[in-house]
Chain A
Amino acid sequence: AQKITQTQPGMFVQEKEAVTLDCTYDTSDQSYGLFWYKQPSSGEMIFLIYQGSYDEQNATEGRYSLNFQKARKSANLVISASQLGDSAMYFCAMREGRGTGRRALTFGSGTRLQVQP
């Protein structure tokens, strides 16, 4: 079963508007972390925002916020005031807290966001 599901292969948004990228996850761990990364066309993987499973407040980083709904196992990324430079692939990822020290991130399949002028 998929541990991270991103159901939107592609999204369009007008410049200066807000956009929500969906992410649902599956884990039986009580302790886990959720991460969003941005991958522009140049290929690098840029960390955007983190949410811990025990965090009661939604994480925010500048124009990025994470809408964390634990009971629904969703961790949607909200980008406010979209800019042309936000056009990229966005990945949701999870690291479960139990088990080995592998600390491997489990990634979703990504959402390609295109910001239109």
Chain B
Amino acid sequence: EAQVTQNPRYLITVTGKKLTVTCSQNMNHEYMSWYRQDPGLGLRQIYYSMNVEVTDKGDVPEGYKVSRKEKRNFPLILESPSPNQTSLYFCASSLGQIPSTDTQYFGPGTRLTVL
């Protein structure tokens, strides 16, 4: 089954404790992206990757890191989480062809709480 998977689905952690949220897709998509969803602010892009070893900042990259060593994986790293990073996080992927037709498929979401 074609899908985007994220782990963990739920995480409660404390300020400053490094964590990684994994994202994997099995559709051979070139483009991958991370979004966060917050009440009243909607979905905002954190980082994106056009292909292996090609990553760039989105709208709200502060406090986050990413890497793309393999095509299928795009982990999101919070080196020192803070309470303002409490959010619902989505990984998305797409073929990466014509931008305006490029449908992004989302993972199930990771609900992160930073105490």
Contact = CB atoms under 8 A, between A and B. Distances in A.
Interface of A: 29, 31-33, 35, 37, 43-47, 50, 52-53, 91, 95-97, 101-105, 107-110
Contact of A43 (B31, B33, B88): B88
Given A35-B103, A45-B92, 6 more contacts: A43-B108, A95-B104, A101-B99, A102-B48, A107-B43, A110-B42
A105 B100 contact: no
DSSP class of B's interface residues: helix, strand, loop or mixed? strand
Contacts of B103: 33, 35, 47, 50
Contacts of B111: 43
B64 interface: no
Contacts of B42: 107-110
Interface in B17-33: 31, 33
Given A33-B101, A50-B101, A97-B100, A103 B108 contact: no
Contacts of A109: 42
Interface of B: 31, 33, 35, 42-43, 45, 48, 50, 56, 58-59, 88, 90, 92, 94, 96, 98-109, 111
Contacts of B101: 33, 50, 52
B104 A47 contact: yes
A104 B35 CA distance: 9
A50 B98 CA distance: 14
B109 A104 contact: no
Nearest to B42: A107
B100 A45 contact: no
Contacts of B59: 104
B74 to A, nearest CB: 14
A45 B107 CA distance: 7
26 contacts: A32-B100, A35-B103, A43-B109, A43-B111, A45-B92, A47-B105, A50-B101, A50-B103, A52-B101, A95-B99, A95-B104, A96-B99, A101-B31, A101-B48, A101-B50, A101-B99, A102-B45, A102-B48, A103-B31, A103-B94, A103-B99, A104-B58, A104-B59, A105-B35, A105-B43, A110-B42
